[in-house]
Homo-oligomer: A and B are copies of this chain.
Amino acid sequence: MSHPATRFETLEVSSESGVLTVAIDRVPQQNAINGTLLAELHTVLDEAERLPGCRQVVIRGASGVFCTGMDFSDAAGSPQSVAERGGAEFLGLLKRLTTVPVVVVSVVDGRATGGGVGIAAASDFVVATPRAVFSLPEALWGLLPCCVLPFLIRRVGFQPAYSMSLSTLPLTAEQAYRIHLADELAAEPELFLRRLRQRVSKLDGATIAAMKRYQRDLWFLSAETERAATDEFTRLMSTPEVRERISGFVTAQVFPWENQR
């Protein structure tokens, strides 16, 4: 199996021994999520489904940043498009990570912020290196991590998800491991990835698909949850306070919390 033919704008993709590795590569934009990144991640998952022996997708960041969530500047002037991208489109990606019939592993080696925490939370496994930092600063913008929370709650339980989003305080790798936001804490993620691949390569794609479907069905979140998540995000994005903070950031690079006190 050689490198896939597709060219990507926001990702570095390679494949080896049934494992497709994706590095998010928008370093000048702190690996923030724009429409292209969302579309290209779907393309990679399409390829993973098509490649006959592929059982594992590994998502990485670059240069000490995993992913810092929605790119506000990308959608300057159109809060509508940010609302859609951070709402239904982003939720669609997270949902796909939890249903695609391959094992998805996020390797967080640096900052994971907002939607970046969502990508990790929706992954089947998360490996954090000692320099990983996880945070949900949405509330400081007057927003909530609407689409992240359903996946974060299923991963870490109610209270850790709640306290993280209400306090907005960052979590170290150790703290993330303590609450099971990271399944493994490792300076060398390759050891765990190899150990996992040895097991996962022995599974049928159909078994992985059945596992994901069955466990999703056992959990209490539903299609109604998804509607609630995107509705709440759309509502918040349309408030004057949030619009003002985003445009202040886009035009003058002022973070909302620098404006106060």
Contacts and interface: CB of A to CB of B under 8 A. Distances in A.
A228 interface: yes
- Interface-central residue, A140, A166, A212, by most chain B CB under 10 Å: A166
- Count this chain's copies in the assembly: 3
Contact of A183 (B163, B217, B260): B163
Interface in A196-253: 196, 199-204, 206-208, 210-212, 214-215, 217-221, 225, 228, 232, 236, 241
A92 interface: no
Interface of A: 103, 124-125, 139-140, 142-144, 146, 149-150, 153-163, 165-169, 179-180, 183, 195-196, 199-204, 206-208, 210-212, 214-215, 217-221, 225, 228, 232, 236, 241, 256-257, 260-261
A167 B218 contact: no
Contacts of A169: 195-196, 199
A218 B221 contact: yes
Given A169-B199, A218-B221, A158 B159 contact: no
Contacts of A143: 207
Nearest to A177: B178
A200 B144 contact: no
Given A169-B196, A210-B236, A124 B180 contact: no
B257 A139 contact: no
Given A155-B158, A166-B208, A179-B180, 6 more contacts: A124-B163, A142-B207, A144-B211, A159-B183, A161-B215, A218-B228
Contacts of A217: 228
A143 B211 CA distance: 9
